[in-house]
Chain A
Amino acid sequence: MQSNLICEEFSRNIWQYIDRSLTEDEMSYWRRHVNECPLCSARLGEASQLISLYESIPLIDIEEDKFNVMIENAVRTDRKRGFHFLHHAIAAADFLPMKRFAFGGAAFVMTIMLIFLLHKPANITLVAPEARKVTLAADTAKSNIDLQDKAQVAEVRLPGRVQTLKRNRVNDWRADKVAYRINQVGRSLARIKMMDEAHREPDKWALHAIALKRQIMLLEREMNSSPM
Protein backbone atom coordinates (compact mmCIF):
# COMPACT_ATOMS: atom_id res chain seq x y z
CA MET A 1 0.00 0.00 0.00
CA GLN A 2 2.77 2.34 1.03
CA SER A 3 4.75 1.31 -2.01
CA ASN A 4 1.75 2.18 -4.23
CA LEU A 5 1.62 5.66 -2.76
CA ILE A 6 5.31 6.13 -3.43
CA CYS A 7 4.82 4.95 -7.02
CA GLU A 8 1.95 7.40 -7.47
CA GLU A 9 4.17 10.14 -6.14
CA PHE A 10 6.84 9.11 -8.60
CA SER A 11 4.40 9.29 -11.50
CA ARG A 12 3.73 12.90 -10.48
CA ASN A 13 7.45 13.66 -10.36
CA ILE A 14 8.53 11.61 -13.35
CA TRP A 15 8.90 14.56 -15.75
CA GLN A 16 10.91 16.61 -13.36
CA TYR A 17 13.02 13.51 -12.70
CA ILE A 18 13.64 13.09 -16.43
CA ASP A 19 14.46 16.79 -16.73
CA ARG A 20 16.69 16.61 -13.64
CA SER A 21 14.92 19.63 -12.24
CA LEU A 22 14.44 18.08 -8.78
CA THR A 23 16.82 18.74 -5.92
CA GLU A 24 19.87 16.52 -5.51
CA ASP A 25 18.29 14.72 -2.54
CA GLU A 26 15.04 14.12 -4.41
CA MET A 27 16.94 12.87 -7.44
CA SER A 28 18.92 10.34 -5.42
CA TYR A 29 15.78 9.24 -3.56
CA TRP A 30 13.90 8.54 -6.78
CA ARG A 31 16.96 6.96 -8.37
CA ARG A 32 17.06 4.46 -5.52
CA HIS A 33 13.33 3.87 -5.80
CA VAL A 34 13.45 3.30 -9.56
CA ASN A 35 16.25 0.77 -9.09
CA GLU A 36 14.14 -1.14 -6.61
CA CYS A 37 10.66 -0.79 -8.14
CA PRO A 38 10.00 -2.63 -11.43
CA LEU A 39 6.75 -0.71 -12.00
CA CYS A 40 8.35 2.73 -11.79
CA SER A 41 11.36 1.52 -13.72
CA ALA A 42 9.01 0.40 -16.53
CA ARG A 43 7.11 3.69 -16.36
CA LEU A 44 10.32 5.64 -16.65
CA GLY A 45 11.50 3.44 -19.52
CA GLU A 46 8.25 3.98 -21.43
CA ALA A 47 8.26 7.72 -20.94
CA SER A 48 11.89 8.02 -22.00
CA GLN A 49 11.26 5.76 -25.00
CA LEU A 50 8.34 7.86 -26.13
CA ILE A 51 10.33 11.06 -25.86
CA SER A 52 13.24 9.51 -27.74
CA LEU A 53 10.81 8.38 -30.41
CA TYR A 54 9.38 11.88 -30.73
CA GLU A 55 12.82 13.42 -30.80
CA SER A 56 13.91 11.02 -33.54
CA ILE A 57 11.35 12.54 -35.89
CA PRO A 58 13.11 14.94 -38.26
CA LEU A 59 12.39 18.56 -37.60
CA ILE A 60 10.52 20.58 -40.16
CA ASP A 61 12.38 23.48 -41.70
CA ILE A 62 11.28 26.52 -43.60
CA GLU A 63 12.59 27.16 -47.12
CA GLU A 64 15.71 29.28 -47.19
CA ASP A 65 14.30 31.89 -49.61
CA LYS A 66 11.17 32.32 -47.59
CA PHE A 67 13.19 32.62 -44.42
CA ASN A 68 15.38 35.33 -45.92
CA VAL A 69 12.34 37.29 -47.04
CA MET A 70 10.87 37.02 -43.53
CA ILE A 71 14.09 38.27 -41.98
CA GLU A 72 14.11 41.22 -44.39
CA ASN A 73 10.50 42.00 -43.51
CA ALA A 74 11.27 41.85 -39.81
CA VAL A 75 14.33 44.10 -39.89
CA ARG A 76 12.49 46.62 -42.02
CA THR A 77 10.08 47.31 -39.14
CA ASP A 78 10.91 50.26 -36.94
CA ARG A 79 12.38 49.57 -33.60
CA LYS A 80 11.61 52.00 -30.79
CA ARG A 81 15.10 53.39 -30.56
CA GLY A 82 14.09 56.35 -28.47
CA PHE A 83 14.26 54.29 -25.31
CA HIS A 84 17.60 52.71 -26.17
CA PHE A 85 19.51 54.83 -23.70
CA LEU A 86 17.04 53.91 -20.95
CA HIS A 87 17.51 50.21 -21.51
CA HIS A 88 21.26 50.62 -21.39
CA ALA A 89 20.98 52.70 -18.25
CA ILE A 90 18.76 50.09 -16.58
CA ALA A 91 21.10 47.31 -17.66
CA ALA A 92 24.03 49.28 -16.27
CA ALA A 93 22.29 49.53 -12.91
CA ASP A 94 22.02 45.76 -12.53
CA PHE A 95 23.86 45.93 -9.24
CA LEU A 96 20.92 47.72 -7.59
CA PRO A 97 18.59 45.27 -5.83
CA MET A 98 15.43 47.23 -6.71
CA LYS A 99 16.53 48.98 -9.83
CA ARG A 100 13.02 49.64 -11.10
CA PHE A 101 12.10 51.53 -7.96
CA ALA A 102 15.43 53.34 -7.99
CA PHE A 103 14.82 54.49 -11.55
CA GLY A 104 11.25 55.44 -10.76
CA GLY A 105 12.46 57.55 -7.84
CA ALA A 106 15.21 59.14 -9.90
CA ALA A 107 12.73 59.99 -12.66
CA PHE A 108 10.38 61.57 -10.10
CA VAL A 109 13.15 63.70 -8.57
CA MET A 110 14.28 64.78 -12.04
CA THR A 111 10.73 65.79 -12.93
CA ILE A 112 10.42 67.92 -9.79
CA MET A 113 13.79 69.54 -10.47
CA LEU A 114 12.75 70.24 -14.04
CA ILE A 115 9.53 71.91 -12.89
CA PHE A 116 11.50 74.21 -10.58
CA LEU A 117 14.05 75.00 -13.28
CA LEU A 118 11.36 75.89 -15.80
CA HIS A 119 9.35 77.79 -13.23
CA LYS A 120 9.44 81.58 -13.76
CA PRO A 121 9.25 83.49 -10.45
CA ALA A 122 7.90 86.70 -11.87
CA ASN A 123 4.27 87.54 -11.51
CA ILE A 124 4.08 88.38 -7.83
CA THR A 125 3.83 91.96 -9.07
CA LEU A 126 0.52 91.09 -10.70
CA VAL A 127 -0.96 89.97 -7.43
CA ALA A 128 0.62 92.49 -5.07
CA PRO A 129 -1.70 95.49 -5.85
CA GLU A 130 -4.75 93.23 -5.62
CA ALA A 131 -3.51 91.88 -2.33
CA ARG A 132 -3.00 95.39 -0.91
CA LYS A 133 -6.52 96.43 -1.92
CA VAL A 134 -7.96 93.28 -0.38
CA THR A 135 -6.12 93.71 2.92
CA LEU A 136 -7.44 97.26 3.22
CA ALA A 137 -10.99 96.11 2.54
CA ALA A 138 -10.49 93.13 4.80
CA ASP A 139 -9.38 95.43 7.65
CA THR A 140 -12.62 97.36 7.31
CA ALA A 141 -14.62 94.16 7.19
CA LYS A 142 -12.80 92.85 10.24
CA SER A 143 -13.47 95.92 12.37
CA ASN A 144 -17.13 95.89 11.28
CA ILE A 145 -17.36 92.24 12.23
CA ASP A 146 -15.94 93.10 15.65
CA LEU A 147 -18.53 95.89 15.98
CA GLN A 148 -21.24 93.43 14.85
CA ASP A 149 -22.19 95.94 12.14
CA LYS A 150 -23.81 93.57 9.68
CA ALA A 151 -24.88 96.20 7.16
CA GLN A 152 -21.38 97.70 6.98
CA VAL A 153 -19.80 94.30 6.47
CA ALA A 154 -22.19 93.68 3.59
CA GLU A 155 -21.10 97.00 2.07
CA VAL A 156 -17.42 96.08 1.93
CA ARG A 157 -16.23 95.78 -1.66
CA LEU A 158 -13.36 93.57 -2.68
CA PRO A 159 -11.58 93.60 -6.04
CA GLY A 160 -12.64 90.85 -8.48
CA ARG A 161 -11.36 87.31 -8.55
CA VAL A 162 -7.63 86.94 -8.95
CA GLN A 163 -6.50 84.39 -11.53
CA THR A 164 -4.56 81.54 -9.99
CA LEU A 165 -2.03 79.17 -11.49
CA LYS A 166 -4.75 77.00 -13.03
CA ARG A 167 -5.67 79.77 -15.44
CA ASN A 168 -1.99 80.35 -16.33
CA ARG A 169 -2.10 83.99 -15.39
CA VAL A 170 -0.04 83.64 -12.26
CA ASN A 171 3.08 81.57 -12.62
CA ASP A 172 4.65 82.10 -9.26
CA TRP A 173 4.00 79.78 -6.36
CA ARG A 174 3.94 82.57 -3.72
CA ALA A 175 1.71 84.76 -5.86
CA ASP A 176 -0.51 81.79 -6.47
CA LYS A 177 -0.94 81.16 -2.77
CA VAL A 178 -1.76 84.83 -2.12
CA ALA A 179 -4.21 84.85 -5.03
CA TYR A 180 -5.84 81.76 -3.64
CA ARG A 181 -6.24 83.41 -0.24
CA ILE A 182 -7.66 86.58 -1.79
CA ASN A 183 -10.27 84.49 -3.56
CA GLN A 184 -11.07 82.64 -0.35
CA VAL A 185 -11.65 85.97 1.44
CA GLY A 186 -13.84 87.07 -1.49
CA ARG A 187 -15.85 83.85 -1.25
CA SER A 188 -16.37 84.21 2.50
CA LEU A 189 -17.48 87.79 2.10
CA ALA A 190 -19.81 86.85 -0.74
CA ARG A 191 -21.48 84.30 1.52
CA ILE A 192 -22.21 87.02 4.09
CA LYS A 193 -23.49 89.40 1.43
CA MET A 194 -25.81 86.72 0.09
CA MET A 195 -27.59 86.60 3.46
CA ASP A 196 -30.32 89.20 3.13
CA GLU A 197 -31.63 91.18 6.05
CA ALA A 198 -34.48 88.80 6.79
CA HIS A 199 -32.18 85.81 7.03
CA ARG A 200 -29.37 87.34 9.00
CA GLU A 201 -29.81 85.00 11.92
CA PRO A 202 -27.29 85.87 14.62
CA ASP A 203 -25.80 82.32 14.86
CA LYS A 204 -25.38 81.85 11.15
CA TRP A 205 -24.01 85.34 10.67
CA ALA A 206 -21.50 84.79 13.47
CA LEU A 207 -20.41 81.54 11.88
CA HIS A 208 -19.79 83.20 8.52
CA ALA A 209 -18.07 86.11 10.23
CA ILE A 210 -15.66 83.70 11.96
CA ALA A 211 -14.95 82.02 8.62
CA LEU A 212 -14.27 85.40 7.01
CA LYS A 213 -11.98 86.48 9.81
CA ARG A 214 -10.10 83.24 9.54
CA GLN A 215 -9.65 83.70 5.77
CA ILE A 216 -8.43 87.28 6.35
CA MET A 217 -5.96 86.02 8.94
CA LEU A 218 -4.65 83.36 6.55
CA LEU A 219 -4.32 85.96 3.80
CA GLU A 220 -2.36 88.26 6.08
CA ARG A 221 -0.12 85.43 7.17
CA GLU A 222 0.50 84.51 3.54
CA MET A 223 1.32 88.11 2.67
CA ASN A 224 3.67 88.49 5.60
CA SER A 225 5.59 85.39 4.52
CA SER A 226 5.71 86.58 0.90
CA PRO A 227 7.56 89.88 0.63
CA MET A 228 5.87 92.01 -2.01
Chain B
Amino acid sequence: MENKLEHQLIERCRKGESQAFSQLIKLYRRQLYSYLWRLCGSRGLADDVFQDTLIKVWKGIDRYDHKDKFSSWLFSIAHNVAIDALRKYKVRSNIIHTDEIHLYGTDSNPCSELIGAELQEIMGEIVNNLPEKQKQVFLLREHGDMTFKEIAELINEPLNTVLGHMHYAVEKIKRALRKKDAI
Protein backbone atom coordinates (compact mmCIF):
# COMPACT_ATOMS: atom_id res chain seq x y z
CA MET B 1 0.00 0.00 0.00
CA GLU B 2 2.77 2.36 1.07
CA ASN B 3 4.82 1.25 -1.90
CA LYS B 4 1.95 2.09 -4.23
CA LEU B 5 1.64 5.54 -2.68
CA GLU B 6 5.40 5.99 -2.91
CA HIS B 7 5.36 4.96 -6.56
CA GLN B 8 2.58 7.43 -7.36
CA LEU B 9 4.39 10.22 -5.53
CA ILE B 10 7.60 9.51 -7.43
CA GLU B 11 5.73 9.64 -10.73
CA ARG B 12 4.16 12.96 -9.76
CA CYS B 13 7.58 14.28 -8.72
CA ARG B 14 8.89 13.38 -12.15
CA LYS B 15 6.19 15.55 -13.63
CA GLY B 16 7.47 18.40 -11.47
CA GLU B 17 4.87 18.48 -8.67
CA SER B 18 6.51 20.02 -5.63
CA GLN B 19 3.60 18.99 -3.39
CA ALA B 20 4.25 15.35 -4.22
CA PHE B 21 7.94 15.81 -3.50
CA SER B 22 7.16 17.20 -0.07
CA GLN B 23 4.83 14.25 0.66
CA LEU B 24 7.38 11.76 -0.59
CA ILE B 25 10.16 13.11 1.61
CA LYS B 26 7.81 13.28 4.59
CA LEU B 27 7.55 9.48 4.44
CA TYR B 28 11.22 9.27 5.48
CA ARG B 29 11.85 12.72 6.91
CA ARG B 30 12.33 11.77 10.56
CA GLN B 31 14.47 8.74 9.76
CA LEU B 32 16.59 10.73 7.37
CA TYR B 33 17.02 13.77 9.59
CA SER B 34 17.87 11.63 12.63
CA TYR B 35 20.40 9.75 10.56
CA LEU B 36 22.05 12.93 9.33
CA TRP B 37 22.05 14.50 12.77
CA ARG B 38 23.78 11.46 14.24
CA LEU B 39 26.23 11.11 11.39
CA CYS B 40 27.16 14.79 11.18
CA GLY B 41 27.11 15.41 14.90
CA SER B 42 25.84 18.96 14.58
CA ARG B 43 22.47 20.42 13.78
CA GLY B 44 23.80 23.11 11.45
CA LEU B 45 25.65 20.64 9.28
CA ALA B 46 22.76 18.19 9.35
CA ASP B 47 20.49 20.98 8.05
CA ASP B 48 22.91 21.80 5.24
CA VAL B 49 23.28 18.18 4.27
CA PHE B 50 19.51 17.65 4.43
CA GLN B 51 19.00 20.60 2.07
CA ASP B 52 21.66 19.35 -0.37
CA THR B 53 20.16 15.88 -0.24
CA LEU B 54 16.73 17.25 -1.15
CA ILE B 55 18.22 19.13 -4.09
CA LYS B 56 20.03 16.05 -5.36
CA VAL B 57 16.97 13.85 -4.94
CA TRP B 58 14.78 16.34 -6.80
CA LYS B 59 17.28 16.69 -9.61
CA GLY B 60 17.92 12.98 -9.86
CA ILE B 61 14.44 11.57 -9.38
CA ASP B 62 14.30 10.70 -13.08
CA ARG B 63 17.27 8.44 -12.63
CA TYR B 64 15.71 6.49 -9.76
CA ASP B 65 15.02 2.92 -10.78
CA HIS B 66 11.82 1.43 -9.38
CA LYS B 67 13.54 -1.91 -8.97
CA ASP B 68 15.54 -0.47 -6.06
CA LYS B 69 14.08 0.50 -2.73
CA PHE B 70 13.41 4.23 -2.69
CA SER B 71 14.56 4.51 0.94
CA SER B 72 17.90 2.87 0.07
CA TRP B 73 18.35 5.23 -2.87
CA LEU B 74 17.46 8.24 -0.71
CA PHE B 75 19.80 7.22 2.10
CA SER B 76 22.64 6.46 -0.26
CA ILE B 77 22.38 10.01 -1.66
CA ALA B 78 22.17 11.46 1.85
CA HIS B 79 25.12 9.37 2.97
CA ASN B 80 27.33 10.50 0.10
CA VAL B 81 26.38 14.15 0.60
CA ALA B 82 27.09 13.85 4.33
CA ILE B 83 30.47 12.19 3.82
CA ASP B 84 31.44 14.91 1.34
CA ALA B 85 30.32 17.62 3.74
CA LEU B 86 32.15 16.04 6.67
CA ARG B 87 35.29 15.79 4.59
CA LYS B 88 34.90 19.36 3.40
CA TYR B 89 34.31 20.99 6.73
CA LYS B 90 36.50 18.50 8.59
CA VAL B 91 33.96 18.40 11.34
CA ARG B 92 34.48 15.81 13.97
CA SER B 93 31.25 14.60 15.49
CA ASN B 94 30.42 16.32 18.72
CA ILE B 95 28.07 15.38 21.47
CA ILE B 96 24.52 16.25 20.52
CA HIS B 97 22.89 18.63 22.96
CA THR B 98 19.74 17.21 24.43
CA ASP B 99 18.02 20.58 24.85
CA GLU B 100 17.98 20.92 21.08
CA ILE B 101 16.55 17.46 20.71
CA HIS B 102 13.81 18.27 23.22
CA LEU B 103 12.58 20.98 20.92
CA TYR B 104 12.18 18.71 17.95
CA GLY B 105 11.60 15.32 19.56
CA THR B 106 8.37 13.85 18.26
CA ASP B 107 7.36 11.52 21.06
CA SER B 108 4.34 13.05 22.79
CA ASN B 109 4.41 10.91 25.95
CA PRO B 110 6.17 13.02 28.67
CA CYS B 111 7.44 9.94 30.51
CA SER B 112 8.92 8.29 27.50
CA GLU B 113 10.22 11.69 26.42
CA LEU B 114 12.21 11.90 29.63
CA ILE B 115 13.57 8.37 29.30
CA GLY B 116 14.17 8.98 25.62
CA ALA B 117 16.07 12.20 26.30
CA GLU B 118 18.38 10.59 28.85
CA LEU B 119 18.95 7.60 26.70
CA GLN B 120 19.36 9.79 23.67
CA GLU B 121 22.09 11.75 25.40
CA ILE B 122 23.97 8.64 26.43
CA MET B 123 23.42 6.81 23.17
CA GLY B 124 24.20 9.91 21.13
CA GLU B 125 27.49 10.29 22.90
CA ILE B 126 28.41 6.66 22.47
CA VAL B 127 27.45 6.50 18.81
CA ASN B 128 29.27 9.73 18.09
CA ASN B 129 32.43 8.35 19.59
CA LEU B 130 32.39 5.26 17.42
CA PRO B 131 35.05 5.01 14.72
CA GLU B 132 33.82 6.52 11.45
CA LYS B 133 33.10 3.33 9.49
CA GLN B 134 31.45 1.59 12.44
CA LYS B 135 29.24 4.63 12.96
CA GLN B 136 28.28 4.73 9.29
CA VAL B 137 27.35 1.06 9.18
CA PHE B 138 25.42 1.19 12.44
CA LEU B 139 23.45 4.30 11.46
CA LEU B 140 22.73 3.14 7.92
CA ARG B 141 21.41 -0.15 9.25
CA GLU B 142 19.31 1.51 11.95
CA HIS B 143 17.95 4.52 10.10
CA GLY B 144 18.32 3.68 6.45
CA ASP B 145 16.54 0.34 6.59
CA MET B 146 19.30 -0.98 4.35
CA THR B 147 20.52 -4.54 4.15
CA PHE B 148 24.18 -5.19 4.89
CA LYS B 149 24.70 -6.03 1.26
CA GLU B 150 23.36 -2.62 0.23
CA ILE B 151 25.51 -0.93 2.88
CA ALA B 152 28.56 -2.82 1.62
CA GLU B 153 27.90 -1.55 -1.91
CA LEU B 154 27.35 2.00 -0.71
CA ILE B 155 30.48 2.31 1.39
CA ASN B 156 32.46 0.19 -1.05
CA GLU B 157 33.64 -2.45 1.37
CA PRO B 158 33.26 -6.24 1.41
CA LEU B 159 30.20 -7.67 3.14
CA ASN B 160 32.26 -9.41 5.83
CA THR B 161 34.05 -6.16 6.68
CA VAL B 162 30.71 -4.40 6.99
CA LEU B 163 29.42 -7.16 9.28
CA GLY B 164 32.62 -6.79 11.29
CA HIS B 165 32.04 -3.03 11.62
CA MET B 166 28.51 -3.71 12.88
CA HIS B 167 29.75 -6.33 15.32
CA TYR B 168 32.40 -4.05 16.80
CA ALA B 169 30.04 -1.06 16.88
CA VAL B 170 27.47 -3.00 18.88
CA GLU B 171 30.14 -4.42 21.20
CA LYS B 172 31.44 -0.92 21.88
CA ILE B 173 27.96 0.46 22.49
CA LYS B 174 27.20 -2.44 24.82
CA ARG B 175 30.40 -1.92 26.80
CA ALA B 176 29.84 1.83 27.03
CA LEU B 177 26.25 1.42 28.18
CA ARG B 178 27.35 -1.05 30.82
CA LYS B 179 29.96 1.41 32.06
CA LYS B 180 27.25 4.03 32.43
CA ASP B 181 24.88 1.53 34.02
CA ALA B 182 22.35 2.22 31.28
CA ILE B 183 21.74 -1.50 30.71
Q: Which A residues lie at the B interface, using CB under 8 A?
A: 11-16, 19, 21, 46-47, 49-51, 53-63, 66-68, 70-75, 77-80, 83-84, 87
B61 vs chain A, min Cβ distance (A): 8
Can you list 10 residue pairs at the A/B interface with Cβ under 8 Å?
A: A14-B167, A15-B167, A19-B147, A50-B170, A53-B183, A58-B107, A62-B33, A63-B104, A66-B47, A79-B58
Main secondary structure of the interface of B (DSSP, over half): helix
Say yes or no: is B31 at the interface (Cβ < 8 Å to chain A).
Answer: yes
CB pair A72 B119 closer than 8 Å: no
Residues of A within 8 A of B149 (CB): 21
Add 13 more A-B contacts to A19-B148, A54-B142, A70-B50 (CB < 8 A): A15-B141, A15-B167, A16-B148, A50-B177, A57-B120, A58-B112, A58-B116, A59-B31, A67-B22, A71-B25, A73-B54, A79-B59, A79-B62
A71: chain B residues at CB < 8 Å are 18, 21-22, 25, 54
Q: Give the size category of B's interface with A.
A: 35 or more
In the complex, B37 has a CB within 8 A of chain A: yes
The 7 closest A-B pairs by CB, nearest first: A58-B107, A74-B54, A75-B18, A59-B30, A74-B58, A59-B34, A58-B116
Q: Which chain B residues border A58 with CB–CB below 8 Å?
A: 105-107, 112-113, 116, 120
Cα–Cα distance between A55 and B177 once the two chains are bound (Å): 15
Q: A224: shortest Cβ distance to chain B, in Å? A: 55
Contact B120 A73 (CB under 8 A): no
Q: Is the CB of A60 within 8 A of B37?
A: yes
Known: A11-B167, A73-B54. Contact between A84 and B62, CB under 8 A? yes
- Cβ A60 vs Cβ B148 within 8 A: no
Residue among A14, A49, A61, A63 with most chain B CB within 10 A: A61
Residues on the B chain within 8 Å of A68, using CB: 22
Bound CA–CA A13/B37 (angstroms): 29
* B142 touches which of A13, A55, A73 (Cβ 8 Å): A55
* B91 in the interface (beta carbon within 8 A): no
Contact of A60 among B101, B167, B174 (CB under 8 A): B101
Question: What string of 1s and 0s marks CB contacts (under 8 Å) between B42-69 and chain A?
Answer: 0000010011001101110111000000
Answer whether residue B163 sits at the interface, using C-beta atoms and an 8 A cutoff: yes
